[in-house]
Amino acid sequence: MMATAVPVGFFAGFFGIGGGLISVPFLFFVFETFNVDKDYLMHLSVGTAFSITILTSTASVLTHRKYKAVDFDIIKSYGTFVIFGVFSGTLMAALMNTKTLLFFFSAVVFFFGAYLLLQNDNKKKNKKKN
């Protein structure tokens, strides 16, 4: 588990993220190694990662707050929508089987990664034009 926690904690602190994109795959393989029932494997991975995300995100906010790098007005307005998203996402995940949840998670990670790569590439092209 320490092999999972160290990289997740590093990226959570470095990027200010909860680490769910990193911890879900790690936890999936750890739980698979311990022969967790395949019907619950992805659900357990996502749920555990979400619990970890709450803790690491809180620690990240508190640390960044020391440097006055947190806008609490955004957190207040954003928080309501996050809570709605958590409940609706949890309900959606509960209705999916493991294979569907695994596919959905993989697709979301792929599209976010592709978006970030394309955004970075577009910024480079715009700088060359100027």
- Give the domain range for residue 19: 2-122
Asked whether residue 48 is domain-assigned, the answer is: yes
Total domains present in the chain: 1
76/22 Cα distance (integer angstroms): 26
Asked whether residue 73 is domain-assigned, the answer is: yes
Q: What angle do CA 9, 106, 37 make, to 5 degrees?
A: 80
Contact between 45 and 28 (Cβ < 8 Å): yes
Query: What pLDDT, on a 0 to 100 scale, did the predictor assign at position 67?
Result: 94
Query: What pLDDT, on a 0 to 100 scale, did the predictor assign at position 87?
Result: 92
Taking the chain (130 residues) in runs of 10, the rounded mean pLDDT of each run is 76 70 86 93 92 82 92 87 91 94 92 84 69
Asked whether residue 127 is domain-assigned, the answer is: no
87: tokens are 């409940």
Query: What pLDDT, on a 0 to 100 scale, did the predictor assign at position 57?
Result: 78
Query: What pLDDT, on a 0 to 100 scale, did the predictor assign at position 16?
Result: 63
127/61 Cα distance (integer angstroms): 32
The structure's pTM equals: 0.72
Asked whether residue 128 is domain-assigned, the answer is: no
